[in-house]
Amino acid sequence: FINVDASLIKNNRFEFFHDNINLQLRFEFFNVLNRVNLQGIDANLNDSNFGKSTNTYDPRIIQLGARIVF
């Protein structure tokens, strides 16, 4: 099982009516390399799918977010 995750965060400061406001933009990437990770290996000796994977984990996922701190 190999999975590489990464995130980028950008902080932006603004002044709004003499108050400091921080806008945080987030970019999160899960399974960046989009590698296929197998799961659910069939262990039934009498099954024709014995030893084969029957499912995979999630593919690449990108999540975007914003946060305002004042």
pLDDT tens for each residue of 12-60: 999 888 889 999 999 999 999 888 888 888 888 888 888 888 888 888 9
| pLDDT attached to residue 57 | 83
Give the CA radius of gyration of the chain: 21
SS3 content of the chain, % helix, strand, coil (to 5): 0, 55, 45
pTM beyond 0.85: the answer is: no
52 in Cβ contact with 45 (< 8 Å): no
Length of the chain counted residue by residue: 70
Per-residue pLDDT band at 70 (split at 50, 70, 90): confident
| pLDDT attached to residue 58 | 83
